[in-house]
Structure 1
Amino acid sequence: MTPVLTADEHDVIVELMNIGVGRAAHALSQLVQDEVLLSVPKLQFLEAANAREVFCRSMPDLLAGVMQGFQGFMSGRAALLFPEERSLELVRAILGADMSVDEITELEQETLAELGNILLNNCLATLANLLHRKIQTDLPQAFNVDTPHLLNRLSLHDQGDGSMIMLVQIDFSLRASDLQGYLAFLIDLHSADAFIEALRQYLVELTS
């Protein structure tokens, strides 16, 4: 079952992710030499059983992404997702406009993996640090997938075993290149109780 959060707990998750993504955006802006503009995160908790329907309704048909496993006070996978049709533009923004299409295509997976490493690590590390917890991340893996198969690609469970997903959607754009897309963090929270307990302790510290 998805967790039942109070309004304060929901707002804290949004704020923590906002801080983490803000730090990640700063790292990305240095990488692409352009200002990165972000929206306020949109947060949803999903049961694996209905995640596929939500993905198909809210995301493009084809995605380029980077996934990364993590372990610690909570465990699972995080994913950074882009519309596949825009991924080469993003890679070009990182590598430079003077490279040929063939060169950019050849380096696409490696570049996206490095980008995912920067963004996902910033977000997960910030979340853990602010909650006074520890987390470790695996090496990122770049991939392409059609959205109906995203759940399977991330190796999340859809057998109704109580696993659930925290989906955080953030719209972003690069000012100079007018490149638009979004970041989505899909976190399989088998350890949801530990995560929510950390949130509640954080709230107590804020109000004490």
Structure 2
Amino acid sequence: MEFDEDAQDALTELINIGVGRAAGLLNEITGSNIRLSVPEIHLIPFGELAGVNKTVLGSDLLSTVMQEFHGQFSGVTALVFPPDSALTLVNLLSGEESGTDSMDAVQVETMKEVGNIIINAVMGSISNILSENLSFSLPVYFEGQLSTIATDRFRGMQDDWVVIAKTQFLIESKKIEGTILLVFEVGSLERLMECIRKTHS
């Protein structure tokens, strides 16, 4: 898989546009000043996903919202947080403080909605800029270790590639670490990069 510096810069630019759009939508919904940092991009084979050091993802235990996407390129997009970051984000958005360290049903629905907004903003920007139509599944929320998520949720994608886009949510002086994972089905990342090269040529 060829992924040179120009390709990485182009993909970073695409994802960053989507991240900025997501921040704007969250600002409108909450009335808070929410900023998201420029994502750091890493490309790894799927088989190495479970071994990614927790310094990249922030925690061994993760709170994750996942959506599948299908089109010219297909795969799974996941928004991943350490549980404390996820709970802090949900509390800020809902204006309520949780009395426990785990999410109740209402908070889980809030998290799914946040994931839906951010994932659709990122993937929508990619599809619009590249003039490619994508369809999306409904968001699913789950918690667990990355190795469990990789095995249980992305079964059958062992030969695929993962783009890790790590960004930081800056909300009311709180730093909340969030990571966007793009898991591409076999051949899909190559097709995405082909579309990017055509757009930039």
Above 0.5 in TM-score? yes
Inter-partner Cα distance in structure 1 for 2:61 and 2:107: 16
Task: Show the counterpart of 1:83.
Answer: 82
Is residue 115 from structure 1 mapped to residue 114 from structure 2 by the alignment? Answer: yes
Superposed CA deviations along residues 111-131 of structure 1, whole A, max 9, x for unmatched, are 111111111001001001101
Change beyond 3 A, Cα 1:153–1:34: farther
1:5-59 Cα deviation digits (max 9, x unpaired): 2322211100011101100111112223211222221111111121211154522
Question: May I ask how many residue pairs the two structures share in their alignment?
Answer: 197
Contact 1:55 1:148 in 2 (8 A): no
Q: Which moved more, 1:44-53 or 1:10-19?
A: 44-53
CA contact (8 A) 2:49 2:147 kept: no
Tell me the TM-score normalized by structure 1.
Answer: 0.86
Task: Please give the residue correspondences for 1:132-151 in structure 2 after superposition, counting only pairs within 5 Å.
Answer: 132-151=131-150
Give the Cα–Cα distance (whole angstroms) in 2 for the partners of residues 41 and 117 of structure 1.
Answer: 18
Distance 2:179 2:95 in 1: 21
User: Which segment is superposed worse, 124-133 or 191-200?
Assistant: 191-200
Question: Is the aligned partner of 1:186 residue 2:182?
Answer: yes
TM-score, length of structure 2 as denominator length: 0.89
Distance 1:50 1:117 in 2: 26
Q: 1:199 to 1:175 in 2, by over 3 A?
A: same
2:196 to 195, 199, 207: 199
Deviation for aligned residue 1:158: 6.0
| Unmatched 5+ stretches in structure 2 | none
Greater shift, 6-15 or 71-80, is seen at 6-15
Distance of aligned partners of 1:183 and 1:156 in 2 relative to their CA distance in 1, 3 Å threshold: same
Q: Tell me by how many angstroms 1:193 deviates.
A: 2.4
Q: In the alignment, what sits opposite 1:30?
A: 28
Q: Is the 8 A contact 2:160 2:183 kept in 1?
A: no
SS across alignment from 1:166: strand
Matched-pair contact (CA < 8 Å) for 2:160–2:185: yes
